[in-house]
Amino acid sequence: QRNLGILSSEEIGLAMMLLREGQKHLFDHWPEPGVDDKRKKGFFDQVAQLNANYPGGLASYIQNARKLLADSKAGKNPYDGFTPSVPTGEVLTFGNDNFMMLEEAGVREARRAAFVLVAGGLGERLGYKGIKLALPSETTTGRCFLQHYIESILALQEASCRLVQGQCEAEIPLVIMTSDDTHESTLLLLESNYYFGMKTTQVKLIKQEKVACLTDNDARFALDLNDKYKIQTKPHGHGDVHALLYSSGLLNSWQSAGLKWVLFFQDTNGLLFKAIPASLGVSSTKGYHVNSLAVPRKAKEAMGGITKLTHTDGSEIVTNVEYNQLDPLLRATGHADGDVNCETGFSPFPGNINQLILDLGPYIKELSKTQGAIAEFVNPKYKDSTKTSFKSSTRLECMMQDYPKSLPPSAKVGFSVMDKWLAYAPVKNKPEDASKVPKGNPYHSATSGEMAIYKANCLILRKAGVHIADPVTDIFNGQEVELWPCITWSPKWTSTFRDVKRKVGECCSISQRSSMIINGQNIFLDGLSLDGALVVNANDQAEVKVTGYVQNKGWALEHVDYKDISIPEETRIRGFKVCKIEQLEINYADPGKFCFKS
């Protein structure tokens, strides 16, 4: 009351709304006018921002929070009334005719796609100080995740344009969702690397904002411990991406530009783009409005399970059920053992890798109804079983994969299951946690993420006819992994398996201790026998055939300990560094046709 005189009419409106919604405590300590007036104004700046950022404003946020907190206190299961069962989806087999047909369909569609990378998370579980997009996906080339993603999109863009008749000037848009934790570093990474070859106009950053923290079951906001004129805030989760895309107007501009697909992906999966063409092919051939990429999942693995949920009213949805909810849901519906592996050694519920492909038209239609708001949840840590007070403040959260939950039964929702070695190797866990993962379960560490790239490349080349020696096992940072030849290629070398087959000729062989980097579009391996390290660099106008016997001392992986702080963090979290002892490097900077014979 005493401070009304210093407030604008807009600020008074916000104050009244807060009072109506039970937030009087925020003002209890306010001194008389004339004291801290600037800070009081600052408080309303923050409130105005929190109000604008949430679909429906802060009043909705508080009301939603009260309801979810009451449900949580009552122990209400969000899946009450639903019976889970294993859904059927598209199961793809890498390299067969169907897979190659789908890849071609996907590449054709890629020119009508937009990519959305959610990269607002800081990755506390990984314990890495920088942004995860700046981490090398593998260390033979040092190509970071963002570079890999951008080059993969550009490669798809080119491949897509090559496939269609006539002039094609597609520029596939890339949107990166950042947060206060990642925005500046992401921008700096892009700017200091000339956007990794993408046009600056092709890339847009949208920043998600945090939401207000809640101190109790009445959803009263928590004040910042160091600033009594500031509300404590925390991240709202990757589900924010839908509301941000909607409010930015990007979706409509894409539709006007003739785009058809929106592909969502996460920050550290070095394999993902090997699975994109075929899964986009599934979306287009099946006419899916929503297509989630999935891989076989070990029971209790920290990835959501794609589940068919049948309601008592007969309605059905196929959606992700998060890993911490799948086990209780199964137990509550007659599966006494909960989330367990079946005879295949995997959970019968495919694992969600949070790569979603949405049909833009139905997506816009749905978002115009919801403004992008999707199902939220709350996860308070209670002090005791009375569930009346929290150990620390909580907030509402949301996940991007919950988008299908609000769709009408007529929506065509499907999923595509791929081999895990081909599609999924995220970098999420710090070495000390990864080393405690039960044997046989994935580590999801920087070590396993890098090894998975070499393994996938080797298996792809094997399938294309190259003789690749079997891997050996080794232990890095306490994690036992398969060590395949360290083979990498720039995304422009190939976007599809058919293209790999075209570029790999007869009688090639690669020994286990070998490393190879293929850096260029028109590099062909034919009769190559490699026992050591080989690097081939060629510009896009050079067509290079590499043949003969290459032998040298090669490269070795030297063990390093994650606790050794004299070593750069991005190296020590993987437990090894590449020692480049000897290699053959061949470079083709001029246009023309060349044959290199060793």
Contact residues for ligand UGB (CB under 6 A)? 118-121, 177, 179, 235, 237-238, 266-267, 303-304, 320, 322, 352-354, 399, 401, 426, 428
Please answer whether residues 226 and 159 qualify as being in contact, where contact means their C-beta atoms are separated by less than 8 angstroms: no
The three-class DSSP label of residue 229 is: strand
**DSSP E strands: which ranges in 192-304?**
203-207, 211-212, 223-224, 227-231, 233-234, 261-265, 290-297
Residue closer to ligand UGB, measured from CB, 265 or 555? 265
Would you say 177 or 203 has its CB closer to ligand UGB?
Answer: 177
- Strands 542-551 vs 592-597: parallel, antiparallel or unpaired: parallel
In whole angstroms, what is the distance from residue 176 CA to residue 119 CA?
A: 7
- Note whether 176 and 109 are within 8 A (CB): no
CA–CA separation, 514 vs 486, rounded Å?
7
Helices (H), 169-312: 183-191, 240-248, 250-256, 272-286
Nearest approach in angstroms of CB 1 to ligand UGB is 38
What is the rounded distance in angstroms from the CA atom of residue 260 to the CA atom of residue 243?
A: 19
The H-assigned helical ranges of 249-316 are 250-256, 272-286
Pair of tokens at residue 502: 């075209």
- The residue (of 119 and 146) whose beta carbon lies closer to ligand UGB is 119
Tokens describing residue 370? 């919801």
In the complex, least distance from residue 137 CB atom to ligand UGB, rounded to whole angstroms: 14
Report how far residue 352's alpha carbon sits from residue 420's, in angstroms, rounded to the nearest whole number. Answer: 11
Q: Which is nearer to ligand UGB, 280 or 399 (CB)?
A: 399
- Is residue 540 within 8 Å of 522, Cβ to Cβ? yes
* Closest CB to ligand UGB among residues 303, 508: 303
Q: What is the DSSP letter of 198?
A: S
Residue among 238 and 274 whose Cβ is closer to ligand UGB: 238
**Nearest distance from C-beta of residue 272 to ligand UGB, angstroms:** 10
CB nearer ligand UGB, residue 452 or residue 578: 452
CB of 121 to ligand UGB, least distance (A): 3
Q: Which is nearer to ligand UGB, 242 or 513 (CB)?
A: 242
As measured in angstroms, the least distance from the Cβ of 403 to ligand UGB is: 12
In the complex, the smallest distance separating the C-beta of residue 397 from ligand UGB, rounded to whole angstroms, is 8
The minimum distance between CB 211 and ligand UGB, in angstroms, equals 10
- Quote the least distance from Cβ 246 to ligand UGB, whole Å: 16
Q: Which residue number, 214 or 557, has a Cβ lying nearer to ligand UGB?
A: 214
225 and 167 Cβ atoms separated by less than 8 Å? no
State the CB neighbour count (10 A cutoff) for residue 347.
Answer: 23
* In the complex, least distance from residue 286 CB atom to ligand UGB, rounded to whole angstroms: 22
Contact 177, 119 (CB under 8 A): yes
Q: Are 159 and 106 in contact (CB under 8 A)?
A: no
d(CA 272, CA 423): 5
